[in-house]
Amino acid sequence: MDIKTLFTPLQALHATAYRWWQTGLIYHIYPRSFQDSNGDGVGDLPGITQRLDYLHWLGVDAIWISPVYPSPMADFGYDVSDYNNIHPLFGTLADMDALIAAAHEREIRVILDFVPNHTSDQHPWFLESRASRNNPKRDWYIWRDPTPDGGPPNNWISRFDGQSAWEWDEATGQYYLHSFLAEQPDVNWYNPDLRQAMLDVLRFWFERGVDGFRVDVVYRAMKDRRLRDNPPNPDWQPGMDPSKRLIEQYTKNTAESHQLNRWLRQVADEYEDKLLIGEMNLPLADLTAHYGDNDEFHLPQNTNIPRTEWTAESIRNLANQYDALLDENDWPNWVLGNHDVSRIASRASRAQSRVALMLLLTLRGTPINYYGDEIGMTNVEIPPDRVQDPWEINVPGLGLGRDPERTPMQWSADPNAGFCPPDATPWLPLANDYAQVNVAVQQAQPGSMLLMVKRLIEIRRQSLALQVGSYQSLDTPPGLFAYLRQHEAERRLVVLNFTDRPQRWQPPVALDRLLLSTVMDGEMGRETAVSLRPHEGQLWQLNAT
């Protein structure tokens, strides 16, 4: 059935003026950790399909699934050896078709991860490329001669160890470039045949019904053509992330990046209503350039909250700065975290995680929720013998490893949290607190974080002010962040207490009704001032203007 025929009347109304990815909530799934359906301790596609009813119940409009393609798993799927297939660990192409169909039946869109910067060193393209200097695919990757003394062509370093980003290939006497692991050679987008092959990957999946892509490290894919050395970073000191030793002037966010964005967008625009999210770990001013003239990314991904101190003042500055930088056609977007950064409930605190979710779901722009954040999952400490992430293995002890935020979803108090059968070993350890912090317990517990988040999503769905309204922050005492959202006469006020102290504040607007407190204890009423308990967020309806 055509997905458009499934809209509720309210959504249909929005659909005329706004796209699904503007009004909707996107839910990010790390597939290894969502649901294991076959007892191997690793999540898979049939597992995701089994859990679609949960996502539908929660009110999710789209899922973004980190890579599920064939891969030697040197970087857990971000090293792709075949873009047009599914890794047997995750299932089959038929499983993906079934997932897409089942998601669409529930009005849930499916977004896949596209990795354009590099392939696996086991991808047939690279095997050919490295076979000989005159192989037709030699130029699909970035090969260079050594310097006269035999060294690498320039000073670029790899993200995952801070060592040279050039790997020597004895057989053909040249170096190849890898921005990440040596098992992840960078491709050459300046080569038209490579470009064509990569763009055809997008078409392959769009034809199968995929609704969009999150495009991995796309801001690194177009390197300086002259391969100029990166300058040293004067702020770097030993003990810091070794890959930050240089300022990445010539390896990321180059002027040519925008050309790549436009190539991708042109392909998306060959189809109807597709979404492109670009991974851009960039400060706001650089990030917002990647909308282009409505011809680059629909959503250059804003990953600034995870890089911002969790205080009312810093988050308010971030939101205000972003709002000021956006042009009329640029649609904002927000994440609290993802598979590469510490979970919000650990970074901010568990007590603050409800406030954080209220922030995510009420700021102007598309919210992208990382799986498990809706129940307050925290980072899990990984014993040394269970470390999986190559970054932690290469650069141990600096806290760079990403396993802690990638642990299995906590579904229930059953053994292995319902993620995999009791006799299976999950690929990463489960949180110690899973018997209390899980979906089943919270679904049945009045006032739980999960029910709070679900209620917030429902309220958001019913409110054009929250979905598409304007944003205006208000002056508050320290420790509070308050903002208005308005669409025509409909107004909402959000007040967030980032502190562990009670707060009282007289807003400059007339309050009508408390719609939701993150504390969820039913204390709702008509008041003239806002009283907040420690770590409380409140969402108010205001008198219509």
Instruction: State the DSSP string of 89-132.
Output: TT--HHHHHHHHHHHHHTT-EEEEEE--SB--TTSHHHHHHHH-
State in angstroms the smallest separation of the CB of 54 from ligand GLC: 24
Do 346 and 389 form a contact (C-beta atoms < 8 A)?
no
Based on CB atoms, which residue is closest to ligand GLC, 44 or 389? 389
How buried is residue 232: exposed, middle or buried, by Cβ count under 10 Å (0-12/13-18/19+)? Answer: exposed
Considering the rule CB under 6 A, would residue 280 count as an interface residue with ligand GLC? no
Whose Cβ is closer to ligand GLC: residue 78's or residue 143's?
Answer: 78
Per the CB < 8 A criterion, the answer to whether 251 and 156 are in contact is yes
**Rounded Cα distance, 128 and 140, in Å:** 10
Which member of 60, 217, 305, 482 binds ligand GLC (CB under 6 A)? 217
The nearer residue to ligand GLC, 221 or 484, going by C-beta atoms, is 221
Q: How far apart are CA 64 and CA 278, in angstroms?
A: 12
Catalytic-residue membership of 523: no
Q: By CB under 6 A, what part of segment 310-349 binds ligand GLC?
A: 339-340
> How many residues are given for the chain?
545
Q: Cβ(372)–Cβ(404) under 8 Å?
A: no
Q: Does 180 bind ligand GLC (CB under 6 A)?
A: yes
Q: Is 270 a catalytic residue?
A: yes
Determine if 78 is a binding residue for ligand GLC (CB under 6 A): yes
Distance between CA 383 and CA 397 in Å, rounded? 12
Residue with tokens 């790997």: 167
**Of 121, 211, 216, 330, which one is the catalytic site residue?**
216
**Residue among 176 and 483 whose Cβ is closer to ligand GLC:** 176
Q: Which stretches of 220-372 are DSSP H helices?
A: 257-268, 284-287, 312-325, 344-347, 353-362
Least distance CB 481 / ligand GLC (angstroms): 28
Q: Which among 200, 269, 270, 488 is annotated as catalytic?
A: 270
Query: Do the beta carbons of residue 318 and residue 288 sit within 8 Å?
Result: no
Q: Does 161 bind ligand GLC (CB under 6 A)?
A: no
Q: Of 36, 44, 75, 107, which lies in the binding site for ligand GLC, with binding defined by CB under 6 A?
A: 75
- With CB under 6 A as the contact rule, the residue among 216, 330, 373, 392 that binds ligand GLC is 216
Least Cβ distance, residue 217 to ligand GLC (angstroms) = 4
Q: How far is the CB of 338 from ligand GLC (least distance, A)?
A: 7
C-beta closer to ligand GLC: residue 23 or 119? 119
Label residues 30-55 b or e (16+ Cβ within 10 Å = b): bbbbbbbbeeebbbbbbbbbebbeeb
Q: Considering only residues 105 through 124, tell me which ones interact with ligand GLC, judged by CB under 6 A.
A: 115
Give the footprint of ligand GLC on this chain (CB under 6 A): 75, 78, 115, 180, 216-217, 279, 339-340
Query: Which residues are catalytic, by number?
Result: 216, 270
